Amino acid sequence: MVEKESMIDKIKRLMYKRENIRNIGIVAHVDHGKTTTSDSLLAGAGMISYETAGQQLALDYLNVEKERGITVQNADVNMVHEYEGDEYLINLIDTPGHVDFGGHVTRAMRVIDGAVVICDAVEGVMPQTETVLRQALREKVKPVLFINKVDRLIKELKLGPEEMQKQLIKIISGVNTLIKKMAPEEYKEEWQVNVQDGTVAFGSAVDKWALSFPFMKRTGLTFKDVIDAYNNDKLDGLRDKAKLHVVLLDMIVKHLPSPIEAQKYRVPKIWRGDLESDVGKSLVACDPNGPTVLVVSRVMVDPQAGEITTARIFSGTVERGQDVYLLGAKRQTKIQQLYLFKGAQRFVIDKVPAGNLLGVSGLKDATSGETVTTVPDMEPFEQIKHIFEPVVTKAFEAKSSKDLKKLVDALSAISKEDPTIRVEIDRESGQNLVSGLGELHLEIIQNQLKEKYGLDVDTSPPIVIYRETITRQSPTVMGKSPNKHNHLFFVMAPLPDKIRDAILKGDIPEGRIKKKDDKLIELLMKHGFSREEAKSVKVIKNGNIFMEQTRGIVHIGEIMEYLMQGFEQTIEEGPLAKEPITGIQFVLVDAKLHEDAIHRGPAQIIPALREALREAFMQADPTILEPVQKIRIDVPMEYMGAVSKLIQGRRGQMISTDQEGDEHLVIIAKLPVAEMFGLTAELRGATAGRGVWSLIDSHFEKVPKSLESEIIKKIRLRKGLDNT
């Protein structure tokens, strides 16, 4: 008798069949049904009970996720699907939908090749649908579309087949408009989703059925059959004929790329190394016999097993006990264990070849985006660029003094798991300053401290993070080294909007420019720099650029490392209120350096640069920028006046109002983050609980001139700086 192959053995076998692997993510606006859909896929793959799928939410395994009904971090699972007589390995990541946890989505995009974008059939394309699509397309991740909750069109809106089709076409058109707007040039048309070719599916994850056009042609099922199933209590029959997991996994296998296919066009986008080198060729080919290269997307801190990372192998084969280098952390380590995932469960495995997702322990100090390799001098993968920055800070203090060290360790672990959080210890007050994307983000951190680490903390009222910038070019300024032997001459100017926006969007990568980078020079020229300007760029950081345009200075190369280091440090705290600097180009135009290297070390050069940067900044009409969020408010028509008054009362501005249907109003507005605390409660109060808002975008704007000095004074007072 032949022993039945276990699921784990099946996955191990399929890991070597790279053309039959699909690395995918489930992405959507909050509450559009991602985790419920993932449940149905797991059930179809025989990994959880089919009866409880949709209610079990197997990939929401934190208590806070179960309590609030939202996903707050990625969950990973490996499953097997049979399609046209062949078996495929699907490595799936279920991602959060709430904007405050969008960093998890960004990090997932680095390690997947395809995304199932889910839209609610009634709500359609929402702000976070646009955000997750932007995140996917920026990393060259190919999308397909699943329109979920079609049951709402029948049960709530009572639509007939033709009206249903109109609503579905409107959603498809909305998604395609976004793809056309945001996809890389060569994929704007090719990646459009289409009913005819089967890159769109419709269904209900909670009721576990789905349809696609190829499936309807094959089975003869129609929307009329769906309406009939709901109206005549025949849902079981519909589920049997149109299993959600079959339709969706068929779509994934047929239309989303294998790692062999995807790495040909994704590697040149996310890796700036030499594609003709041995490691470059291996990365593009997804070669399991090449040098080992993996990229970390997520770090989890397990009290028993320590740090477990989720990683994607782009080249080579990873084995237990293998010696590898962490390029970002600049150190060698040994891989301890390899794992397969099933949500919160892990299964140990000995080795995994290129093209797969896996769990790894032993990569201590690795952070999200870390390149791990057996080639210590290779170019690392580009840094993962998050769409939104932390703009709200709270001070966290342990209620009991004995928990002080425990709190610092816990916050350090949480910030590894979620790099969109920034943790800073205020040495003077002993407070831990934690910055996040919004109020909910910081609430969840507080909740995690209690639930996972048993820590009760007190928190301060929320503080907004500002930015400092300039509005005109400075005159040439000089920085003198402490020993008076070195003189550096600089000019500072506002960074052109086109370049700054491209850096913030991630179109122009940040970091130090180590050598002549033709790709980057072309990018900078495309966005408005001359060739000479582009070639002079040395550092791009936090929306700022440092350039070196000297002529014939003999020892300039020897001090360049110190100049770059000084620039990176100094822009962290501006002269106005010690808030980060953004939007400047700082140009070294001349230098007089001491002949003897001992007199031009870092202790001389860095202070000279720091002095010049601050002087130039203050002579270039400095100003302060505040974070502003563009939001969408959904509300019944009758409350338009109340909402308008609420927006104006918070220094906000209404951008547009659109009527949807007879009674529904969609308002687009922008508000300063400083005025948004308590917005949810006030909006509910003003609209009898019927108004909801969601974030579309976040950016920085100049504060009104009338408030500038008052805001600077308040920040300086809070930081204990001199206000005279």
Q: What is the pLDDT of residues 8-53, one digit of tens each?
A: 888 889 999 999 999 998 888 777 887 788 777 777 665 554 444 4
| pLDDT attached to residue 1 | 41
Better-scored residue on pLDDT, 2 or 5: 5
Q: In this prediction, what percent of the chain has a pLDDT beyond 90?
A: 52
- 78 and 90 Cβ atoms separated by less than 8 Å: yes
| pLDDT attached to residue 593 | 93
Q: Please provide the DSSP assignment of 228-277 as one string.
A: HHHHTT-HHHHHHHSBHHHHHHHHHHHHSPPHHHHHHHHHHHHB-S-TTS
CA distances from 273 to 103, 270, 633 (A): 25, 9, 44
Chain position carrying tokens 């007089």: 592
Whether residue 227 is predicted with pLDDT greater than 60 in this model: the reply is: yes
- 138 and 386 Cβ atoms separated by less than 8 Å: no
Q: Say which DSSP state 186 is in.
A: G
| pLDDT attached to residue 343 | 53
**What digits encode the pLDDT tens for the residues 151-210?**
999 998 888 888 888 999 999 999 999 999 999 889 999 999 999 999 999 999 999 999
Domain 625-717 of CATH type 3.30.460.80: no
Q: Which of 312, 252, 331, 266 is nearest to 107 (CA)?
A: 312
Q: How far apart are CA 527 and CA 525, in angstroms?
A: 5
Topology of domain 19-257, CATH: Rossmann fold (3.40.50)
Q: How far apart are CA 580 and CA 527, in angstroms?
A: 24
Q: How far apart are CA 322 and CA 195, in angstroms?
A: 47
| pLDDT attached to residue 544 | 96
Summarize the confidence of residues 666-691 as an average pLDDT: 90
Label residue 59 by pLDDT band (50, 70, 90). very low
Q: How far apart are CA 643 and CA 683, in angstroms?
A: 7
| pLDDT attached to residue 518 | 82
| pLDDT attached to residue 430 | 61
| pLDDT attached to residue 569 | 95
**What digits encode the pLDDT tens for the residues 401-422?**
888 888 888 888 777 777 778 8
Query: Is 71 strand, coil or helix?
Result: coil
- 116 and 49 Cβ atoms separated by less than 8 Å: no
Q: How far apart are CA 721 and CA 700, in angstroms?
A: 24
CA distances from 667 to 494, 536, 692 (A): 33, 45, 10
Whether residue 534 is predicted with pLDDT greater than 90 in this model: the reply is: yes
Whether residue 307 is predicted with pLDDT greater than 60 in this model: the reply is: yes
Chain position carrying tokens 């209590």: 233
Q: How far apart are CA 668 and CA 676, in angstroms?
A: 15
Report long-range pairs for 402-406 (Cβ below 8 Å, ≥24 apart): 403/455, 403/456, 404/430, 406/453, 406/455
Chain position carrying tokens 């816990």: 410
**What digits encode the pLDDT tens for the residues 327-366?**
988 889 999 999 887 655 788 899 999 999 988 998 887 8
Fold identical between 392-460 and 468-620?
no
Domain ranges for the chain, please list them. Answer: 19-257, 262-373, 392-460, 468-620, 625-717
**What digits encode the pLDDT tens for the residues 60-94?**
333 433 333 333 333 567 888 899 999 999 998 87
**What digits encode the pLDDT tens for the residues 271-297?**
988 899 999 999 999 999 999 999 998
How many CA atoms lie within 13 Å of 428's alpha carbon, on the beta-carbon side?
4
Whether residue 220 is predicted with pLDDT greater than 80 in this model: the reply is: yes
Query: Is 227 strand, coil or helix?
Result: helix
**What digits encode the pLDDT tens for the residues 424-470?**
876 555 678 888 877 777 888 888 888 878 888 888 888 898 999 99
Whether residue 102 is predicted with pLDDT greater than 50 in this model: the reply is: no
Q: Which of 576, 570, 575 is nearest to 714 (CA)?
A: 576
Q: Say which DSSP state 3 is in.
A: P
Summarize the confidence of residues 227-239 as an average pLDDT: 90
- 34 and 71 Cβ atoms separated by less than 8 Å: yes
Whether residue 723 is predicted with pLDDT greater than 90 in this model: the reply is: no
Domain 392-460 of CATH type 3.30.70.870: yes
Give 3-state DSSP helix, strand, coil % of the chain, rounded to 5: 35, 30, 35
Domain 468-620 of CATH type 3.30.230.10: yes
**What digits encode the pLDDT tens for the residues 554-599?**
889 899 999 999 999 999 999 999 999 999 999 999 999 998 888 8
Better-scored residue on pLDDT, 116 or 306: 116
| pLDDT attached to residue 259 | 97
Summarize the confidence of residues 103-110 as an average pLDDT: 74
| pLDDT attached to residue 103 | 55
Label residue 57 by pLDDT band (50, 70, 90). very low
CATH for 262-373 is: 2.40.30.10
- 470 and 584 Cβ atoms separated by less than 8 Å: yes
